[in-house]
Structure 1
């Protein structure tokens, strides 16, 4: 009988999608049965291709009504009941647990099921959090840099790295889903120190969450982040496997052709069709289009959106600008941020009224969801103004599209530093992100990004590594995971 592992994801879009791909890779490269433990609220978001896989199984965690009383203890009891009364002959030999779901660790420990911590973000963000804690960079003075033993010199900590604006998160949304998902916020809530740079002496939260695990899995690969994987492994003293990037199967099979998001992502509200986007892109010169998108959860302030609109109008650059409902309003959940969830009722946010008429066919403004992989894979796209969320960052790098980084919170700052300082495939939108980003900042950034041939060449060189399919180092990492589990249970 094949051994079984289970996966417990965090229920946010940037966490669910990589988990689905991890399930795909595990069922295709190992003989394990894989069970996904997921909230019944999100059962419709599981791809049909997974549901048809005989090695894949879906187990639903009952969704509880939103209430402050629905605590981690109750969630743990529900999980324990599911695992204790398993519908197959044996319990899992291992659980892969998203680090955001660390409340479950005690349950797996009680049932003697070893756990592997799963990071859906990259290795650089976790490594830099660790470095910032160990190096006490808040003591840095203007102009001073601090090298970190074990990390590349180009990732030395600087005074400007610490100058980040504190960002107010959507209610109960950073770290844990909104109340309608039935999952409460992390212990201690979202205190002042949770979103900005670390306080003096604070250790990364994930260190506690991986203490009792047998290994770590990270959504990355050696070609992008080997030094950061090694840095983490040396500190935690256990295996750390880069098993990504966990992107859709079509991404690895596209061979330089345009990818159609509709083939693997459910339709979401938008004012344009994929055909209209392709037609618009086809009309633009190669490498001329700037793609502007901040994802579904966070973005600039209303005032900064106004500055961005003025910059895009002033530049001669063709652009696609994706604007989510609720944009510019801090603390406001955005429409359609979670796959399979009901649409959030949200206040109307910023929208650049009249900009489309003023720029004419030079600009395409998308309200709602955009086919991002299609846009990034099209030959006309030459740059990406992005918040540097990990999925967006990897999607751009894999297609050789340079980035103009405008990080908003958390790991996005570290992803931006990776892009600008280490990989050298982009620029930062402002040297002082503690201040409002202005029209002039954006204009200068766009001009530098779109006019820099060296940056374009660097991006092209890295993207070539992704054209041979899913990285060999990540396949080897999945083999190492399989060997580790087999050794423990032979």
Structure 2
């Protein structure tokens, strides 16, 4: 055993799953990987992951009587105490490996844990579970001070591709409040600290990760050079640190499938609200590339007013579709949300409506799926890119706006659902976007060509980056360093 590496994800499955895959890659190089999570996330960890001989899971008890997430003020002292106890235990037992470093999620967790690791002499590595483009755009728009941009002006961002130039419309953001489950104290700060913005920086705001990673020895990002080389190189130049792309951190089954169907049931510790066999049967009955898949992830949502607009747009469209609707759709955490009653009867076999969780990897990997109406969360984005599926981008918060720009402007494998992403999206825009996406054969060819780069498995460049990462932490942990 080469040593132990801690991995600390922020709350939410979009952060947990990449950290699980990173732990597997670390363990594949004979290091012990210790995943430190809040106990609320334990049920989402696959049993096969727990059985790995070089992987350990350390649960931090979630605060009682509150949202059990790291942003809650009751969580910070509990996390820090548990971390100190864990590390102290390691140091008292000579047969346990010495922690070589901690890979820490940059959504809040880095700010909270840096002092503990610094005090105990454990190097930290900042981890972006999102992509390089979003981090680079946060940094570049802050440096360019884009808040004073004028109508009609196009402002280039030095060091980044010209396609990522900013206009005043790019500064618009929807006002949806905090994402689901991300509660916490009001904007007065945590535990008497100074006020702090949470989550990704808005256009021109100072990215909190810049200060929080000042003492980190490196940064790792859930992406690869095939997708985001220019953005990765930009971050390395600007931060003066090694920046390694070690992803996309998707399951080994995804990479091993070679472009064939991926079974979610073999990967994720969740049961879909529809059998995979029924989904496959429905998709098999549709022509290749004809199906539009609609899903907005588990943490963000369109508005209650937009849901019936979308239902009407799908009814008016002639394309087959799969629409995944959460059970609290449009209701921000309430048990019962919007459901398009009667739509299934009106569209018949042309539509498949799934309420609850759905087998997304299976749907995206099926040859009948030809488009993805998506919020452009990073996990969903790379899952679709890897299967050659183009996008109708509908970003809803934070880094999703930059992910959408990457897809639409730089990779050119998608369209925006609206020219004004700061307001309500209307039915007419949805219909126009669906028709444009599903009818663009050239875009489908570009998407398929991009996806073909991943048919042979996990990127070699990401493997090499992981090697460079382990070489650095070995060097930093050597006596005298």
How high is the TM-score relative to the length of structure 2?
A: 0.92
- CA drift of 1:2 comes to 2.4
Q: Residue 196 of structure 1 contacts residue 409 of structure 1 at CA under 8 Å; is this kept in 2?
A: no
**Where do 1:256-335 residues align within 5 Å?**
256-268=259-271, 270=273, 272-329=274-331, 332-333=332-333
Q: Structure 1 pair 307/217, CA: closer, same or farther in 2 (3 Å)?
A: same
* Structure 1 alignment gaps of length 5 or more: 178-183, 334-345
Residues in 2 aligned to 1:81 and 1:426: alpha-carbon distance in whole angstroms: 48
Residues in 2 aligned to 1:46 and 1:128: alpha-carbon distance in whole angstroms: 32
Residues in 1 aligned to 2:272 and 2:214: alpha-carbon distance in whole angstroms: 41
- CA drift of 1:320 comes to 0.4
Among 227, 238, 242, the alignment partner of 1:239 is 242
2:348 paired residue number: 360
Higher mean alpha-carbon deviation, 419-428 vs 302-311, is at: 302-311
Q: Structure 1 pair 269/260, CA: closer, same or farther in 2 (3 Å)?
A: closer
1:407 paired residue number: 395
Among 63, 72, 76, the alignment partner of 2:76 is 72
Residues in 2 aligned to 1:71 and 1:19: alpha-carbon distance in whole angstroms: 20
Q: Structure 1 pair 78/442, CA: closer, same or farther in 2 (3 Å)?
A: same
2:170 maps to 1:167: no
SS of aligned partner of 2:99: coil
2:17 paired residue number: 17
- CA drift of 1:167 comes to 2.1
Among 66, 81, 85, the alignment partner of 2:85 is 81
1:336 paired residue number: none
SS of aligned partner of 1:95: strand
Residues in 2 aligned to 1:323 and 1:172: alpha-carbon distance in whole angstroms: 17
1:452 paired residue number: 440
- CA drift of 1:267 comes to 2.9
RMSD value, Cα: 2.1
**Where do 1:87-236 residues align within 5 Å?**
88-100=95-107, 101-102=109-110, 103-170=112-179, 173=182, 197-198=202-203, 202-236=205-239
Residues in 1 aligned to 2:319 and 2:209: alpha-carbon distance in whole angstroms: 41
- CA drift of 1:75 comes to 2.3
Residues in 2 aligned to 1:197 and 1:116: alpha-carbon distance in whole angstroms: 24
Q: Structure 1 pair 452/137, CA: closer, same or farther in 2 (3 Å)?
A: same
Higher mean alpha-carbon deviation, 34-43 vs 220-229, is at: 34-43
Residues in 1 aligned to 2:373 and 2:14: alpha-carbon distance in whole angstroms: 19
Q: Structure 1 pair 106/47, CA: closer, same or farther in 2 (3 Å)?
A: same
Among 347, 350, 370, the alignment partner of 1:382 is 370
Q: Residue 73 of structure 2 contacts residue 191 of structure 2 at CA under 8 Å; is this kept in 1?
A: no
Residues in 2 aligned to 1:160 and 1:106: alpha-carbon distance in whole angstroms: 39
Residues in 1 aligned to 2:37 and 2:45: alpha-carbon distance in whole angstroms: 9
Q: Residue 200 of structure 2 contacts residue 399 of structure 2 at CA under 8 Å; is this kept in 1?
A: no
- CA drift of 1:449 comes to 0.4
Residues in 2 aligned to 1:246 and 1:326: alpha-carbon distance in whole angstroms: 28
2:58 maps to 1:59: yes
Residues in 1 aligned to 2:59 and 2:469: alpha-carbon distance in whole angstroms: 25
Residues in 1 aligned to 2:278 and 2:140: alpha-carbon distance in whole angstroms: 46
Q: Structure 1 pair 295/145, CA: closer, same or farther in 2 (3 Å)?
A: same
How high is the TM-score relative to the length of structure 1?
A: 0.90
Task: Give per-residue Cα distances to partners, 1:111-150, cap 9 Å, x unaligned.
Answer: 0000001111001111111111111112222221111111
Q: Residue 140 of structure 1 contacts residue 158 of structure 1 at CA under 8 Å; is this kept in 2?
A: yes
Residues in 2 aligned to 1:381 and 1:106: alpha-carbon distance in whole angstroms: 47
Q: Residue 134 of structure 2 contacts residue 403 of structure 2 at CA under 8 Å; is this kept in 1?
A: yes
Residues in 2 aligned to 1:105 and 1:203: alpha-carbon distance in whole angstroms: 19
Residues in 2 aligned to 1:442 and 1:204: alpha-carbon distance in whole angstroms: 32
Residues in 1 aligned to 2:61 and 2:232: alpha-carbon distance in whole angstroms: 36
Q: Structure 1 pair 186/51, CA: closer, same or farther in 2 (3 Å)?
A: farther
Q: Residue 3 of structure 2 contacts residue 98 of structure 2 at CA under 8 Å; is this kept in 1?
A: no
Question: How many pairs were matched up?
Answer: 464
Q: Structure 1 pair 130/371, CA: closer, same or farther in 2 (3 Å)?
A: same
Q: Residue 235 of structure 2 contacts residue 243 of structure 2 at CA under 8 Å; is this kept in 1?
A: yes
2:258 maps to 1:249: no
SS of aligned partner of 1:316: coil
SS of aligned partner of 1:287: coil
Task: Give per-residue Cα distances to partners, 1:240-259, cap 9 Å, x unaligned.
Answer: 11000000111111112111
Higher mean alpha-carbon deviation, 85-94 vs 146-155, is at: 85-94
- CA drift of 1:404 comes to 0.1
Q: Structure 1 pair 453/186, CA: closer, same or farther in 2 (3 Å)?
A: farther
Q: Structure 1 pair 403/190, CA: closer, same or farther in 2 (3 Å)?
A: farther
SS of aligned partner of 1:146: coil
Residues in 1 aligned to 2:223 and 2:119: alpha-carbon distance in whole angstroms: 31
SS of aligned partner of 2:476: helix
Higher mean alpha-carbon deviation, 244-253 vs 63-72, is at: 63-72
Residues in 2 aligned to 1:195 and 1:4: alpha-carbon distance in whole angstroms: 30
Q: Structure 1 pair 160/129, CA: closer, same or farther in 2 (3 Å)?
A: same
